[in-house]
Amino acid sequence: MASKIQKGQIRRGGAKIPEPNIIQLSLVCFSFKYLDLDHEKFHLPDTKEKASYLATLFDRLKHISSMTFAEFRTAGKALRSHAIQWETTSEPYGYLRLPAQMQECQPWQFSLSREELGRIHGFLLSDIFYVIWVDHGHQLYPKFNQ
């Protein structure tokens, strides 16, 4: 007769499945695995301000990486961090250059700092934010850029 497994116990040879709220408590990590700097609209600025732009970008990434996933998702106006609704953007089909499986992940964005520095677009998977586009010119939401 098989023995009954108690809540919280690990069966030999198996692993404990993490609770969903554990992800919310872990710190945000960034991945650049799918970064697309060749997109015609979403890339680093090609100006003499590129060095200061990159400094601001890395400063923001450093700040966010000290936040829990829950803090990042609910930061509101401080980061202008929110999900992307593709149908309201200039890219209604989303991240077409990603593998199909990754296109199903929740698209997300956050602000670099001031309005004129644009947004970073990517997707969330577990406790990782995958950076896809650098939108220094607010090209994803052009109606708001007028």
Q: Residue 137 in 3-state DSSP?
A: coil
- Mean pLDDT, residues 114-135: 87
- Mean pLDDT, residues 118-129: 89
AA letter at 104: E
Q: CB of 56 within 8 A of CB of 113?
A: yes
Confidence of residue 126 (pLDDT cuts 50, 70, 90): confident
Q: How many CB atoms are closer than 10 A to CB 108?
A: 19
- Mean pLDDT, residues 2-30: 62
The Cα 110–Cα 56 span in angstroms is 13
Please tell me the predicted confidence (pLDDT) of residue 51: 83
Please tell me the predicted confidence (pLDDT) of residue 1: 54
Please tell me the predicted confidence (pLDDT) of residue 94: 92
Per-residue pLDDT of 106-115, as tens digits, reads: 899 999 876 6
Task: Domain ranges for the chain, please list them.
Answer: 20-145
Cα end-to-end span (Å), the chain: 71
Residue with tokens 């209604």: 92
Point out which residues pair with 129 in neighbouring strands: 30, 124
Per-residue pLDDT of 56-82, as tens digits, reads: 899 999 999 999 988 888 887 778 888
DSSP structure string for 53-109? HHHHHHHHHHHHTTSBHHHHHT-GGGTT-EE--GGGSS-TT--TTS-HHHHTSEEEE
CA distances from 36 to 44, 127, 134 (A): 10, 21, 8
8-40 in b/e form (b: 16+ CB < 10 A) is eeeeeeeeeeeeeeeeeeeebebeeebbbeebe
**Percentage above 70 pLDDT, the chain:** 79
Judge if pTM exceeds 0.85: no
